[in-house]
Amino acid sequence: MIRQQIATTLQVIPSISAIELSIGGQTVPASLQPKTDSSVQVDGPPVVLADDHLSRVSGTTVAKVENSPNLKEAKASDPAVSLDDSMYTYLADDGKQLMRLKANAVDATPILKGKKLVRPSIDRFNTTWTGEARNKGELKAVGRDGESFTVAADFLNGRQLIDIEVSRDGTRVALLSRHKGEPDRVDVVGVPRDKAGNPSGHVSETPIEVGANFDEVKDVSWAGSTSLVALAAEEGESVQPFRIGVTGPAEQLGEVSGGSRIAGGVDGRSILVTSSDGALYSYNSNAWQKLVDVAAKDPSYPG
């Protein structure tokens, strides 16, 4: 797992073609390192909040999730859905509770409480990740069985955590954070896990910063194994959608006025943006299309 995390993160750098892992001066053969599938496919449609329910976007239409509760009084936001469609998570009570709804359940159940949790992200092991907005240097994760884990991320201490996005292969996490008087940051780090595959320990003290040319980053999402999409702006510019490589320059993806959230599919071609007034835009064939007669917020692709 460790070797896979390091290789996946570093081999996007053109000058690096291979890595060698040593522990105590002894080289650890690749055959002894458990492998993680980095070619995870996203087959399911994205999830959104629409008409006070969890809903799925299919083409130009939005359909309610069959067993979704009515969330009108729940102060709900930020839905997520697992890669296998077996469960949904979302924030309730203005971010004070992380809720989980299993596909075969009638009611959602709280799995984590906090002061102000950020948008959850579900990895390929069906572990849900989040963290406190006013961060003290740690991330929270809840396994499929309800067990909670804390992962130290010291560089976040004293920063405001905006978003957490786990890569779909489960090896890396992108963290969007800000601090007063400084440009917003997007950092990518490997996910530490124990022998059972559960989150543990602490992330790297030296994360890879991506999109360093931006002054403001409003939202971020994985859009493939080596790239992210973001709503971002350079100093003095308005926020627009961009594709950002883990290394390399950012590429602007046209213009969307008033974008508030962005979500990317596995290939980076299927991208959704919602605006603060509930408009939903879809990016296909290098063009943005507004979905007519659809009001939704907080889009997220599976995983």
How confident is the model over 63-99, as pLDDT tens digits? 999 999 999 999 999 999 999 999 999 999 999 999 9
**Per-residue tokens: 266:** 């596995």
**Per-residue tokens: 229:** 């999409």
pLDDT of residue 14: 45
Q: Which residue has the higher pLDDT, 251 or 3?
A: 251
pLDDT of residue 266: 76
246 confidence band (pLDDT: 50, 70, 90):
confident
Q: How far apart are CA 110 and CA 117, in angstroms?
A: 13
DSSP string, the chain: -HHHHHHHHHTTSTT------EETTEE--GGGSPP--S-----SPPEEEETTEEEEEETTEEEE-TTPPP-TTTT-EEEEE-TTSSEEEEEETTTTEEEEEETT-SS-EEEEE-SSB-B-EE-TTS-EEE-BSB-SSEEEEE-TTS-EEEEE-GGGTTSEEEEEEE-TTSSEEEEEEE-TTS--EEEEEE--B-TTS-B-SB--SSPEEE-TT-SEEEEEEE-SSSEEEEEEE-TTS--EEEEEESSS-EEE----TTEEEEEE-TTSS-EEEEETTS-EEEEETTEEEE-TT---EEEE---
Question: In the predicted model, is pLDDT for residue 134 greater than 90?
Answer: yes
* pLDDT, tens digit (0-9, with 9 covering 90-100), for 4-18: 444 544 444 444 555
Question: In the predicted model, is pLDDT for residue 46 greater than 70?
Answer: yes
What average pLDDT is seen over the chain?
Answer: 88
**Per-residue tokens: 237:** 């510019």
Residue 150: strand pairing partners: 140
* pLDDT, tens digit (0-9, with 9 covering 90-100), for 107-117: 999 999 999 99
pLDDT of residue 247: 78
**What percentage of the chain carries pLDDT values higher than 90?**
74
pLDDT of residue 1: 45
Residue 143: partners with Cβ closer than 8 Å, 6 or more residues away: 125, 126, 127, 149, 198
Residue 288: strand pairing partners: 283
Question: In the predicted model, is pLDDT for residue 28 greater than 80?
Answer: no
pLDDT of residue 284: 81
Q: Which residue has the higher pLDDT, 144 or 36?
A: 144
* pLDDT, tens digit (0-9, with 9 covering 90-100), for 192-211: 999 888 999 999 888 999 99
Residue 269: partners with Cβ closer than 8 Å, 6 or more residues away: 283, 284
166 confidence band (pLDDT: 50, 70, 90):
very high
pLDDT of residue 205: 86
19 confidence band (pLDDT: 50, 70, 90):
low
pTM: 0.86
